[in-house]
Chains A and B, each alone.
Chain A
Amino acid sequence: MFSPADLVQIPIDDWVNSLVRDFLVPNFRSFFRALQAPVTSVLNWVDAFLHWLPMLAVTAILTVIADRTAGRGVAIFTLLALSFIDMTGLWPETMTTLSMVITSVLFCAVMGIPLGIWAARSDRVLFVMRPILDIMQTIPSFVYLVPIVMLFGVGMVPGIIATIIFALPPIVRLTNLGIRNVRADLIEAAEAFGSTGWQMLWEVQIPLALRTIMAGLNQTLMLALSMVVIAALIGAGGLGLTVYTGLGRLNVGAATAGGIGIVLLAIILDRITQALGEKNSETAPSLWQTLCSLFSWGLEAKQEKDKTA
């Protein structure tokens, strides 16, 4: 039987091998090494800080944040979940994972939001960007783990870079979507009053897209957490390493403990970031207004306002 392979054979593996091995690695290794410097410094800082903070302090901070944003239920859950993690003896690993996740989400936001804004302003940029984002989202992460190791080496920072590649698309996409969905008449109004492009962005587009951008951040965070185990393959530590070692040694118990830690962390971070997104679009009474209404002077002020209505 005839097949196209009889005519032409494409040795794509050889091409990529020579591209990476013979061109990128010898010529650009130092460049890529330099690229990871900002990631390294941020990671070191966050990691050191989280490990320096006592367990109770971290728990207290996260519980208060959860209470302020997502309400009492989530706060109680946060308190119990973090206590549970500490009891399983995985607290240091959890903090390592948390610092990895924070670092990669930070870089995703710093790169992804401007990229999303850029894509929203130009159809041409979006046209080019969309397939790249599709590739980043769908390509199995194992494919790019090897070149990452070759270019960046092993350890936490290459793990974070792999995580960034995997987790970046949602925030770009949703920033783009959020800004494009801002009501046209509001854009027109801002323009009619003589706004510059930047003023339009800061005063109207970003505030109104914030809810969608926060949803993107939430998605990015979840994807970053899901990369924790895979990043452990190339030397990143933390809960992912616990799971990975458990897998390697057929230690079901250790793998389960690590897995539970990841899930609990994921739930806490998810609830908090989701609540952040919803809070922002609410026009209902803010926390401050709610507090005011608890006191009599707040009530009086409200009654006065009602009277004038």
Chain B
Amino acid sequence: MKPKLRIENVFKIFGERPEEALKALEQGKSKLEILEETGQTVGVKGVSFEVNEGEIFVVMGLSGSGKSTLVRMLNGLIPATSGRILIDNEDVTRCSAERLRNIRRNKIAMVFQHFALFPHKTVLENVAYGLKIKGEAAHRRREKALKALEQVGLAAYADSMPGELSGGMQQRVGLARGLATDPEILLMDEPFSALDPLIRREMQEELLHLQKVLNKTIIFITHDLNEALLLGDKIAIMKDGAFVQVGTAQEIVDRPADEYVAAFVADVDRGRVFQASHVAGRPVTVEQSEIGAAEKALQLMEKHNRNALYVVDKGKVAGVVAYQELAVAAREEGRTDLKEVMVTDVPVVHPETPLNELYAAASAGYPIAMTDSHGRLVGVIEVEAVFSQLSGCASENGATSGNECASQAKTQGSQDRNVQPR
């Protein structure tokens, strides 16, 4: 897929003489040394990344890491010192002021940390601002703005003033304002940081929900790792103006690039980061109608060292048989019909189910069946795999000591996680 947004080796130096600072950076000097020697502040140094259409790319970093500067360079609010920023292969850093304005009007919208709603305009006028700037007719403006307000569930407040709304509602208006011009790219600069935790959670879920419908390319800035892990298709961890690691939530939690990232992810709720598909193993199954199914099932279980096995009926889950029961029935009593010993009330989950929602399914005592949207069995989750993933040692033999885990986590590939999550 062609990337929607490509950033190539972008630098930002604040100060009068950026060349000096760039030279010093080449010599490998640190941000602090450069500030002392040249008086120039390094905002962003050598950042490159790509974002595909419909992706949420989260930049996570603490304050002063340069993440807000980075996002403002994407729409030219802060001009980059060097490097290229390509939106649909057009370089934002080199286009004319007129062209940049056009890009801002049509392609790229922004949502701000402190909402930045115009206090003298009604909610509707705020949402319609981008459309007004583009010169759209009043009735079309109203129509589109109302539609955007409906998307965030605030159509009833169209004629209120922003000051009359709560923080969460104000940010919904901010989001609607960003969506009203139907941009392809949405820049969100810590949009939920100023909200209290409950509202923040609600807004995060709403954003994900909206994104399913809208499929925008979103650059999301945050200082909250949990928010980053929840929202990001790809996450970049930023420190001192540079990216430390870029990857999916699972990659970052599982294989932190350095100690800085490791310290961040140390107390992350892994149960929410990892999903059923990450711990599921390839299903070993036996077809219900097969001749000699019982014996085959027993042999398979012996071979794979399992104590339960899923029985499928044309790909769909029919039930589960336990080794002990089947062995007694088939080998001692000679009853070879699987249906007699099969348990049909089996725990079933979806690949996207987060691990922390597997507890109920795990309590049945059987491995958990993972099915796709058509009900086909695509994976089987052993309860031990869930626990070892949650404890941070996703290895087959279930290593327990913390240090071992960390080293193993890096070397161990995804041999047991070969099921496509999406």
Contact = CB atoms under 8 A, between A and B. Distances in A.
Interface string A260-302: 0000000000000000000000010000000000000000000
B104 interface: yes
B156 A308 contact: yes
A186 B156 contact: no
A194 B102 contact: yes
B116 A186 contact: yes
Interface string A155-192: 00000000000000000000000000001011011111
Q: Is the interface of B mostly helix, strand, loop or mixed?
A: helix
Nearest to B126: A189
Given A194-B133, A195-B133, A208-B119, A188 B77 contact: yes
A188 B120 contact: no
Interface stretch (A4-12, A137-145, A199-207): A199-207
B226 interface: no
A207 B187 CA distance: 27
A305 B159 CA distance: 10
User: Interface residues of A: mostly helix, strand, loop or mixed?
Assistant: helix
A192 B100 CA distance: 10
Given A204-B118, A283-B119, A192 B133 contact: no
B118 A193 contact: no
B264 interface: no
Interface stretch (B8-16, B107-115, B366-374, B400-408): B107-115
B163 interface: yes
Size class of B's contact patch? 20 to 34
B161 A283 contact: yes
Contacts of B187: 192
A196 interface: yes
Nearest to A308: B156
A182 to B, nearest CB: 10
Interface string B132-172: 11100000000000000000000011000101100000000
- Of B116, B134, B156, B164, most A-chain CB atoms within 10 Å: B116
Contacts of B164: 283
Contacts of A188: 77, 112, 116
Contacts of B275: none
Contacts of A283: 119, 161, 163-164
B129 interface: yes
Contacts of A185: 112, 114, 116
Given A188-B77, A283-B161, A193 B116 contact: no
Given A185-B112, A208-B119, A208-B120, A191 B77 contact: yes
Contacts of B75: 192
Interface residues of A, number: 20
A196 B103 CA distance: 13
Contacts of A190: 118, 129, 133
Contacts, number: 64
A51 to B, nearest CB: 39
Contacts of A204: 118
B112 A189 contact: yes
A301 B219 CA distance: 40
Nearest to A183: B116
Contacts of B156: 305, 308
B112 to A, nearest CB: 6
B132 A192 contact: no
A190 B106 CA distance: 14
B217 interface: no
A257 to B, nearest CB: 44
Nearest to B165: A309
B65 to A, nearest CB: 19
B118 A186 contact: yes
A203 B129 contact: yes
B134 A194 contact: yes
A58 to B, nearest CB: 33
Nearest to A192: B110
A199 B133 contact: yes
**Which of A191, A194, A199 has the most chain B CB atoms inside 10 A of its CB?**
A194
Nearest to A196: B101
Interface in B73-114: 75, 77, 101-106, 109-110, 112, 114
B161 A192 contact: no
Contacts of B114: 185
A193 to B, nearest CB: 4
Contacts of A196: 101, 133
Contact of B132 (A183, A189, A203, A208): A203
B181 interface: yes
B104 A193 contact: yes
Contacts of B129: 190, 193, 203
Contact of A193 (B109, B119, B157): B109
Which of A185, A186, A193, A203 counts the most B-chain CB atoms under 10 A from its CB? A193
Contacts of A193: 104-105, 109-110, 129-130, 133, 177, 181
A246 to B, nearest CB: 48
A191 B134 CA distance: 12
A194 B77 contact: no
A189 B110 contact: yes
Contacts of B116: 183, 185-186, 188-189
A190 B75 CA distance: 13
A81 to B, nearest CB: 33
Contacts of A194: 101-106, 130, 133-134
A193 B114 CA distance: 16
A185 B114 CA distance: 8
A195 B129 CA distance: 9
A195 B133 CA distance: 6
B133 to A, nearest CB: 5
Nearest to A200: B133
A82 B102 CA distance: 56
Nearest to B169: A309
A192 B116 CA distance: 11
15 contacts: A189-B118, A190-B133, A191-B77, A192-B104, A192-B110, A192-B187, A193-B129, A193-B130, A194-B101, A196-B101, A199-B133, A203-B118, A208-B119, A305-B156, A308-B157
Interface of B: 75, 77, 101-106, 109-110, 112, 114, 116, 118-120, 129-130, 132-134, 156-157, 161, 163-164, 177, 181, 187
Interface of A: 183, 185-186, 188-196, 199, 203-204, 207-208, 283, 305, 308
Given A192-B75, A192-B110, A193-B181, 9 more contacts: A183-B116, A193-B129, A194-B102, A194-B105, A195-B101, A203-B132, A203-B133, A207-B118, A207-B120
